């Protein structure tokens, strides 16, 4: 992570709301007026209600790269994941305003949106790069499908309830065959998401590693493993009725016996900008309620 202390101007800014939902309408309108007053050109989604303002243009997603210098995402972490996957190949920096719940990636409270973003646009921000996964599904019939993931790729059982059987390899070397509800390959960003709830480790963003995390394995000796992010992980389904693979919980593909999912570090990274006071471990303390007593969790105003 680096701290920028000199002024850096972002002349063209895209404001991207939570799928254009009503929760984002008022903050988007307020931020649009604020940024226009500062002299920025604003790009909004085609269905945004404020596109009739002078200095505001409307562009579909596919035209954003090359037309903007910065994207401000207003929504939850799911919205940020979607936007980051689309814009990471174009090195567009992202700022997140939290309209969701946890806000691991969208870390600016909407109540402090304008002064915080003003300071960041004046150059007072920290920047970090987040690793993405490049995921490829190779089917038994020879067809392939690819998708990126910022959080994780998950191979798991479907709604029929039976475990899947799969084989895991790392860089072509056999690791194990496992019966389980599934297996997760998580980036450091995704280590605080689904992987954490299944017992995986938290990996700080600057650590070059992935977490390989079994989901409810039949053998209790199967444990999470941290592996270098230069490795290629391959998961082959040997038996998996109604099995599927998910990328960030947003891209979904059904799996059949013999299908193979590979995950490796993508050639590009997501570029996230944070307020200059941003501290990863302070964020973990806040979001995960470390050092909180049950009384304070129940009564947050208690002293």
Backbone angles phi, psi at 282, to 5 degrees: -65, -40
The residue count for the chain: 303
Distance between CA atoms of residues 18 and 62, nearest Å: 17
Catalytic residues: 77
Q: Are 43 and 13 in contact (CB under 8 A)?
A: yes
Beta-bridged to residue 183, according to DSSP, are 155, 214
Task: Count CB-CB contacts under 10 A for residue 135.
Answer: 25
In the chain, beta strands by DSSP E: 2-4, 12-17, 41-44, 56-58, 70-75, 93-98, 108-109, 125-138, 144-149, 152-156, 164-170, 173-180, 182-186, 209-215, 225-228, 233-239, 244-247, 251-254, 260-275
With CA atoms as reference, report the closest residue to 257 among 153, 93, 139, 160: 139
H-only helix segments in the chain: 22-37, 77-87, 113-121, 194-197, 280-288, 294-298
Distance between CA atoms of residues 268 and 133, nearest Å: 9
Structure-block tokens of residue 287: 């979001």
């Amino acid at each position: 992570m680096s701290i920028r202390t000199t002024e850096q101007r972002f002349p063209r800014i895209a404001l991207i709301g939570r799928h254009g939902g009503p929760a984002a309408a008022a903050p988007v309108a307020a931020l649009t007026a604020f940024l226009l007053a500062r002299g920025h050109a604003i790009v909004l989604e085609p269905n945004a209600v404020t596109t009739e303002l002078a200095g505001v243009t409307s562009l579909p997603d596919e035209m954003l790269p090359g037309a903007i210098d910065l994207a401000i995402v207003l929504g939850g972490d799911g919205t940020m994941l979607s936007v980051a996957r689309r814009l990471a190949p174009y090195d567009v920096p992202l700022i997140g305003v939290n309209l969701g719940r946890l806000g691991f990636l969208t870390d600016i409270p909407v109540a402090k949106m304008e002064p915080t973003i003003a300071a960041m646009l004046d150059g007072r921000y920290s920047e970090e790069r987040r690793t993405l996964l490049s995921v490829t599904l190779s089917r038994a019939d020879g067809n392939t499908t690819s998708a990126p993931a910022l959080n994780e790729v998950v191979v798991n059982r479907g709604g029929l309830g039976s475990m899947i059987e799969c084989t895991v390899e790392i860089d072509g070397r056999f690791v194990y065959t496992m019966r389980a509800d599934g297996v997760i390959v998580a980036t450091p960003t995704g280590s605080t998401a689904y992987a954490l709830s299944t017992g995986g480790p938290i990996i700080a963003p600057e650590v070059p590693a992935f977490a390989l995390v079994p989901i409810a394995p039949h053998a209790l000796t199967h444990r999470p493993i941290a592996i270098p992010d230069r490795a290629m992980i391959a998961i082959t389904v040997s038996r998996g009725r109604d099995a599927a693979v998910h990328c960030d919980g947003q891209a979904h593909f059904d799996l059949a016996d013999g299908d193979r999912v590979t995950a490796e570090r993508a050639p590009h990274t997501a570029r996230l900008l944070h307020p200059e006071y941003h501290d990863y471990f302070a964020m973990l303390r806040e979001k995960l309620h470390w050092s909180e007593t049950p009384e304070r969790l129940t009564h947050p105003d208690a002293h």
